[in-house]
């Protein structure tokens, strides 16, 4: 065995209870992670990615057990290790970042206390209070959280999604793991925050020479972060290789389909169509300012959510409004359907060539054909 091999999963099978959607959660899965290497485990929902990672940590859901196969960590088979032995590994040499930080963090404990507890589980001898506080601040700083002194006293609900994920990463780093398992750590984040978290994981991995098994269903993330890729479907590995091999020359049809589904990987000509005809909807100089009262003696706060936006929509056309969280995507759509939120100013907005901003029809009348599906699914 190579000295650089950290994790080696060999012919792993985990049976499902009778009556499940198939006989095995994972079947004959073999993969490896070396020191200083990021391996992405990719596949659609239900393909067996999480079960594989949970089997490594000895955290399978009740009713599921490792059947055949071996899980070797630093050369030692831990597939059937005792609970005591697994407790010695979890959060120590092997740690995990979970997909949903809010459910993995204790809502009633301050962030600093939770990171301190992660350190204390494996600390021997027990550090002094001052040493522990210093280590907590060091971890918070290492994961790029702002204002560490204030942050240690915050509760999870007071943080943004990206900040909570950084706290989870700080806890996972608490005892300098050799192997990090990351189960879709960025799926719930917007693209900008996702990029920052991927950058952070890559930096920590390189600084500490960790091996990382990174679970994702997103080939865009794979292209960003992976050294090697393992593709799973229906509990089996269908393809694995270096990131270059798998992304440039995928062999399996399923891998090809997953790669083709990544936005931007299809030729633009397939998407572009000639769109003709008079616009159904046209807006110029769309502005929306929100004014929020701050109490009796303080001036109201004004937020310019949308400034001078122009957009038009023709028959059979789909217009995508794209931007990061808080950039003002929803407001123009809401402003064009006035009962939701009237615009502050707009030069023209036409629907089926009747200019409704000049003579707005009663919304919901038979001549009005506007409707919008809002973020929480309500149709207006
Ligand atoms: N707690 C459980 N009890 C019984 N079966 C389970 C349990 N969790 C998962 N399974 C089954 O194991 C198989 C693999 O599931 P797994 O959670 O590993 O998928 P996944 O690839 O992580 O999917 P996702 O991308 O949705 O997280 C599926 O058939 C699933 O139904
Ligand atoms: Mg999963």
pLDDT tens readout for residues 227-246:
999 999 999 999 999 999 99
What is the residue range of 380's domain? 273-380
Give the CA-trace dihedral at 290, 295, 298, 303, to 10 degrees. Answer: -10
Alpha-carbon distance of 122 to 37, in angstroms, equals: 25
Q: Which residues of 281-291 are buried (b: 16+ CB within 10 A; e: fewer)?
A: bbbeebbbeee
Residue 130 sits in a domain whose CATH number is: 3.40.50.300
What is the total residue count of the chain? 380
pLDDT at 362: 47
Residue 305 has a CB neighbour count (10 Å cut-off) of: 19
315 in the same domain as 219: no
Does the CB atom of residue 89 touch ligand 1 within 6 A?
no
Of all protein residues, the one whose alpha carbon is nearest to atom 25 of ligand 1 is: 45
Of all protein residues, the one whose alpha carbon is nearest to atom 28 of ligand 1 is: 46
245 in the same domain as 280: no
Strand partners, 215: 41, 183
pLDDT at 317: 78
Residue 370 CB partners (closer than 8 Å, separation 6+): 281, 336, 337, 351, 363
Q: Is residue 33 a part of any domain in this protein? A: yes
287 in the same domain as 234: no
Asked if the model's pLDDT at residue 346 lies above 80, the reply is: no
- With the most atoms of ligand 1 within 8 angstroms of its CB, the residue from 9, 23, 25, 40 to mutate is 25
Domain boundary among 200, 232, 260: 260
- With the most atoms of ligand 1 within 8 angstroms of its CB, the residue from 48, 187, 258 to mutate is 48
Q: Which pTM does this prediction carry?
A: 0.74
- Max Cα separation, the chain? 78
Domain boundary among 260, 294, 317: 260
pLDDT at 190: 83
86 in the same domain as 206: yes
17-69, pLDDT tens digit by residue? Answer: 888 778 899 999 999 999 999 999 999 999 999 999 999 999 999 989 999 99
97 in the same domain as 30: yes
What count of Cα atoms within 13 Å lies in the side-chain half-sphere of residue 149? 0
Give the CA radius of gyration of the chain. Answer: 26
Strands (E), 210-300: 211-216, 228-233, 236-242, 281-292
Q: Is residue 266 a part of any domain in this protein? A: no
For the ranges 5-9, 99-103, 293-297, 336-340, the maximum mean pLDDT occurs at 5-9
pLDDT at 306: 77
Which ranges in the chain belong to alpha helices (H)?
49-57, 83-89, 101-104, 111-120, 129-142, 148-151, 161-173, 191-208, 219-225, 243-248, 253-260, 268-271, 330-335
DSSP state letter for 43: -
Cis peptide bond N-terminal to 46, omega within 30: no
Give the nearest ligand 1 atom to 43 CA. Answer: 21
Distance between Cα 230 and ligand 2 center (Å)? 15
167-212, pLDDT tens digit by residue? Answer: 999 999 999 999 999 999 988 788 888 898 999 999 999 999 999 9
248-284, pLDDT tens digit by residue? Answer: 999 999 999 988 887 765 544 455 567 777 777 777 7
Alpha-carbon distance of 315 to 275, in angstroms, equals: 8
278-315, pLDDT tens digit by residue? Answer: 777 777 777 777 776 666 777 776 767 778 877 777 77
252 in the same domain as 342: no
Does the CB atom of residue 62 touch ligand 1 within 6 A?
no
Structure tokens at 100: 């949903």
141 in the same domain as 66: yes
Q: Is residue 268 a part of any domain in this protein? A: no
153 in the same domain as 58: yes
Distance between Cα 205 and ligand 2 center (Å)? 22
376 in the same domain as 299: yes
pLDDT at 214: 97
Alpha-carbon distance of 172 to 164, in angstroms, equals: 12
Distance between Cα 230 and ligand 1 center (Å)? 17
Q: Is residue 267 a part of any domain in this protein? A: no
Residue position matching structure tokens 């984040």: 189
Distance between Cα 197 and ligand 2 center (Å)? 19
Q: Is residue 196 a part of any domain in this protein? A: yes
Distance between Cα 232 and ligand 1 center (Å)? 12
129 in the same domain as 51: yes
Q: How many domains does one find in the chain?
A: 2
Number of H helices, E strands in the chain: 13, 14
Asked if the model's pLDDT at residue 105 lies above 60, the reply is: yes
72 in the same domain as 104: yes
Q: Is residue 140 a part of any domain in this protein? A: yes
Domain boundary among 260, 292, 310: 260
Q: Is residue 315 a part of any domain in this protein? A: yes
Distance between Cα 51 and ligand 2 center (Å)? 7
286 in the same domain as 339: yes
Average pLDDT of the chain is: 83
pLDDT at 353: 39
Q: Is residue 311 a part of any domain in this protein? A: yes
Residue 175 has a CB neighbour count (10 Å cut-off) of: 18
Nearest to 145 by CA among 126, 173, 122, 117: 173
Does the CB atom of residue 61 touch ligand 1 within 6 A?
yes
8 A C-beta contact, residue 55 and residue 12:
yes
Of all protein residues, the one whose alpha carbon is nearest to atom 31 of ligand 1 is: 46
């Amino acid at each position: 065995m190579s000295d650089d091999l950290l994790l080696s999963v060999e012919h792993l099978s985990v049976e499902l209870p009778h009556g499940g959607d198939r006989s095995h959660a994972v079947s004959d899965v073999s993969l490896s992670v070396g020191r200083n290497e990021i391996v992405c485990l990719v596949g659609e929902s239900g393909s067996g990615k999480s079960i594989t990672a949970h089997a490594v940590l000895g955290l399978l859901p009740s009713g599921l057990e490792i059947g055949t196969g071996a899980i070797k960590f630093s050369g030692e088979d831990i597939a059937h290790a005792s609970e005591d032995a697994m407790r010695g590994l979890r959060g120590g040499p092997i740690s995990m970042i979970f997909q949903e930080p809010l459910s993995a963090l204790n809502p009633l404990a301050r962030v600093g206390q939770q990171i301190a507890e992660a350190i204390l589980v494996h600390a021997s001898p027990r550090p002094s209070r001052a040493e522990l506080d210093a280590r907590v601040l060091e971890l918070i700083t290492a994961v790029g959280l702002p204002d560490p002194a204030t942050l240690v006293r915050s509760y999870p609900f007071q943080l943004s999604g990206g900040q909570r994920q950084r706290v989870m990463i700080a806890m996972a780093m608490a005892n300098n793991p050799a192997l990090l398992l990351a189960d879709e750590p960025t799926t719930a984040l917007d693209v900008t925050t996702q990029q920052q978290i991927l950058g952070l994981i890559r930096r920590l991995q390189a600084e500490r020479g960790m091996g990382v098994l990174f679970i994702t269903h997103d080939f865009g993330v794979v292209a960003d972060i992976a050294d090697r890729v393992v593709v799973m479907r229906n509990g089996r590995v269908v393809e694995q290789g270096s990131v270059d091999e798998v992304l440039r020359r995928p062999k399996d049809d399923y891998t090809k389909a997953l790669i083709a589904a990544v936005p931007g990987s299809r030729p633009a000509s397939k998407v572009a169509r000639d769109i003709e005809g008079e616009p159904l909807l046209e807006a110029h100089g769309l502005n929306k300012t929100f004014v929020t009262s701050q109490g009796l003696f303080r001036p109201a706060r004004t937020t310019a959510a949308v400034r001078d936006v122009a957009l038009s929509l023709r028959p059979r056309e789909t217009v995508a409004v794209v931007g990061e969280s808080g950039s003002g995507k929803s407001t123009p759509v809401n402003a064009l359907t006035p009962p939701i939120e009237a615009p502050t100013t707009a030069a023209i907005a036409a629907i089926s060539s009747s200019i409704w901003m000049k003579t707005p029809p009663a919304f919901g009348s038979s001549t009005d054909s506007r409707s919008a599906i809002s973020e929480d699914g309500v149709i207006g």
